[in-house]
Amino acid sequence: MNKIELYDTTLRDGAQSEGISFSVVDKLKICEKLDLLGIHFIEGGWPGVNPKDLEFFKRSKNLKLKNSKIVAFGSTCRAKAPVRQDKILKGLLAADTKYVTIFGKSWDLHVKDVFKVDLDENLRMIADSIKFLKSNGKTVFYDAEHFFDGYKGNKDYAVLTLKAAEEAGAARIIFCDTNGGTITSQVFEIVEEVKSIIKAPIGIHAHNDAEMAVANSVAAIQAGCVQVHGTINGYGERCGNANIVSIIANLKLKLRIDCISDITLRELTEAAHFVAEISNMKLQDNQPFVGNSAFAHKAGVHVNAILKNPKTYEHVDPASVGNRRRLLISELSGKSTILKKAEDMDIGLGKNNEKSKKILRILQGLENKGYHFEAAEGSLELLIRRVMKTFKDFFELEDFRVIIEKRKSGKMSTEATIRLKVGKELERAASLGDGPVNALDSALRKALKKFYPSLAEMHLTDYKVRVLDEKEGTAARVRVLIQSQDKDASWWTIGVSENIIDASWQALVDSIEYKLLKDSNKGLRQIGEDII
């Protein structure tokens, strides 16, 4: 098979996703990441209608890209108007890129109902636009918008639009499933049919409205396309575009097409998370290949098999795409999961069946009460160490009090006071906060700071509450999850109670204890290294 060209349109199509708005700086950062990944073409935006995109094209010239070419995007010229006066085409020239992609109508329904021009005028618009751009030194890719719907509706006219683009000198002709509703088998059949008619190299641009965009893209490549379009994490309008992350992984690992190097393939997970962060979007845990749950195993039968041979429940090696295997602890776990999890935490269970059975019984009992340890690995490690008697609490609570006051002005005030012991020393502290959890957290740190100065490095980054049995109303048990972070890592801890303050306290204590455990283990490792 010929070399496959990867064409990323995150900066344009991805920016049309609900909730995403890239600044020029955001787009430049994503460009550099895509270049490191080995993407061949990066569609930067639409300079003819968007001043921000024109600014991006100016500043992108300062990027030292090694693998990627920047592409400007626009449409064909307007109906019944000369191309030399067209603002869109002038904007494309102003972007000053070697490569330009323009889209035109392939579906006669759009020509008649949207453009409201005759079919021949549409062919003229396609041909004249491409000729004009080529005469100004541009390499032109032509996006045949709504091609699959057009081909199914009026095959002869859809092909005429492609012929017009080919004869005008388009370097690539891209078949677009713009509505995203074409079935994979139809994509393969249509691409295979049209490939024998069109001599120009062809590509695929798929949308995900029927959740087939990745499958359609792969099928189109198998049918003869040499260029594939997509966005990182499948961002895009409506249901999104084809996810280029999954496309790359499938081409490399399933079809053995060398579209990027094996080394950069291992950067795929990091790149997906990087773009999600800049987009201010949470990467879906169940996203194939790169999601946090892509190689997570929960059922005891699965874990037991995975430990014997990873191929039993993993279709690819997680490390090949820069991800990792995760074994989840829950009421579904078996002894194998407990033993492996303890090993990963450097807790020596060995082959102690009685200990692993005891831990499993305790875990199952706690999960029956509403605990959820697969989401709180900080609390899980503390629990295992407590059962193994290899952990001693760093402090002991005497009591705490939280006072919440609403004043006549409407302003809320919260104060927490706390008494605790560190060894034999009693310490008291009080602190104001934005709410009871914030006040408790501040008071707890204040009481511990002279004993454990490293707590100053740590802060809470997320707080989640879930009512476990809504039928119980205000007496329902609640689950609190807290995410904490220091300069090295982040971790989640958990608490469950009928009282939200008590549940929050449990999770807070575990977050502090886990931080101190982490620091003490780090200190022991450093001592060992110094001795060596």
Q: Is the pLDDT confidence value at 384 over 80?
A: yes
Beta partners for residue 296, in sequence order: 326
- pLDDT at res. 367: 79
Instruction: pLDDT band for 473, please (50, 70, 90 cuts).
Output: low
Q: What is the mean pLDDT of residues 404-422?
A: 89
Burial 122-155 (b: 16+ CB within 10 A, else e): bbbbbbbbbbbbbeeebbbbbbbbbbbbbbeebe
User: What is the spatial distance between Cα 76 and Cα 61, in angstroms, rounded to a whole number?
Assistant: 25
Cite the residue boundaries of each domain of the chain with CATH code 3.20.20.70: 5-260
308 versus 348: the higher-pLDDT residue is 308
Burial (0-12, 13-18, 19+ Cβ within 10 Å), 331: middle
pLDDT in tens, 230-244: 999 999 999 999 999
User: What is the spatial distance between Cα 48 and Cα 94, in angstroms, rounded to a whole number?
Assistant: 8
pLDDT in tens, 38-79: 999 999 999 977 788 999 999 999 999 999 999 999 999 999
Cβ 4 vs Cβ 251: under 8 Å: yes
User: Does an H or E element contain 172, and which?
Assistant: strand 172-177
State the CB neighbour count (10 A cutoff) for residue 86.
21
φ/ψ of residue 3, rounded to 5: -60, 135
The CATH number for 395-451, chosen from 3.30.200, 3.30.160, 1.20.58, 3.10.450, is 3.30.160
The CATH topology of domain 5-260 is: TIM Barrel (3.20.20)
Q: Is the pLDDT confidence value at 333 over 70?
A: no
Q: Is the pLDDT confidence value at 328 over 90?
A: no
Indicate the length of the chain as a whole number. Answer: 532
pLDDT in tens, 176-189: 999 999 999 999 99
Instruction: pLDDT band for 92, please (50, 70, 90 cuts).
Output: very high
Cite the residue boundaries of each domain of the chain with CATH code 3.30.160: 395-451
- pLDDT at res. 247: 98
Q: Provide the residue type at 72 as one letter.
A: A
φ/ψ of residue 170, rounded to 5: -60, 130
Beta partners for residue 416, in sequence order: 402, 431
- The overall average pLDDT reported for the chain is 90
**SS3 string of 93-162?**
HHCCCCEEEEEEECCHHHHHHHHCCCHHHHHHHHHHHHHHHHHCCCEEEEEEECHHHHHHHCHHHHHHHH
pLDDT in tens, 130-181: 999 999 999 999 999 999 999 999 999 999 999 999 999 999 999 999 999 9
User: What is the spatial distance between Cα 342 and Cα 363, in angstroms, rounded to a whole number?
Assistant: 14
User: What is the spatial distance between Cα 472 and Cα 487, in angstroms, rounded to a whole number?
Assistant: 41
397 versus 2: the higher-pLDDT residue is 397
Nearest residue to 5 via CA among 57, 83, 67, 54:
67
